Amino acid sequence: MTRFTLKRYGKVALEFLIYFAITFVVFFVVTLLLGKSVAGTENTSSATLFKIEIDEVLDGDTVAYHKAVGKILIRTRIRLYGIDAPESTQPFGKESAIHLSNLVQNKTCYLQIIDIDQYGRELGILYVDAQDINDQMVLSGYAYAYPFTRPVSNNLKFHEQFAKANKLGVWSSNKALQLPWEYRKEKNKRVK
């Protein structure tokens, strides 16, 4: 019986061991990242990720894709959980949608569904290459950490402070902008 030794197999064995170690570490890190909830604690809901292809970016915090239900494809809207982006008619609304589009269009996306909102939209976290897109929208200044989400994510609050301190996205404006949830509330009052 032949024994495996570094001396016998030399450089090839060492390269294989290094490759195996790196692969294991990357797998472990990705598993940890995808297994966490938005709040940064272990997720008690289903941490199942669904591979999806984004059909359309509707605004800076909502996208659409087609979900197979039996033999039927149903267009489904996803509201990005824990964030709120400017409405399309607000300053930075179009820029926010363009930024989200650049992050997700023509890329392999994974969705973790957190809940369904009162409008029937899936509330979820989008991932591209193990990168949390919800976090990236806030970090780049094109969305706010939504304060009415429970629990409020410490990561999102920290990323919002970073974007504000570095005057990124909505924070680059010299004038105070109306927050999206206040804008919608005021708009709904005008309609009634």
Q: Both tokens of residue 29?
A: 């890190």
- If pLDDT is split at 50, 70 and 90, which confidence band does 15 have? low
User: Is 9 or 147 the better-scoring residue by pLDDT?
Assistant: 147
Average pLDDT, the chain: 82
Of the residues 3, 121, 150, 184, which is catalytic? Answer: 121
* 68 belongs to a structural domain: yes
Q: Is 121 a catalytic site residue? A: yes
* 107 belongs to a structural domain: yes
Domain that holds residue 79: 50-172
* 111 belongs to a structural domain: yes
* 152 belongs to a structural domain: yes
- CA dist., res. 6 & res. 187, Å (int): 71
Closest to 77 measured CA to CA, from 58, 103, 96, 105: 58
* 129 belongs to a structural domain: yes
Q: Which pLDDT belongs to residue 177?
A: 87
Domain containing 84 — which CATH number?
Answer: 2.40.50.90
Strands (DSSP E) contained in the chain are 50-52, 54-59, 62-69, 72-80, 83-84, 109-116, 122-128, 131-132, 144-145
Q: Is 87 a catalytic site residue? A: yes
Q: Is 75 a catalytic site residue? A: no
DSSP character string of 4-29: P-HHHHHHHHHHHHHHHHHHHHHHHH
Of the residues 15, 42, 87, 182, which is catalytic? Answer: 87
> What's the pLDDT tens digit per position in 17-75?
565 556 655 555 555 555 443 334 334 345 689 999 999 999 999 999 998 888 999 99
Report the domain count for the chain: 1
Counting Cα atoms < 13 Å in the Cβ hemisphere of 22 gives 6
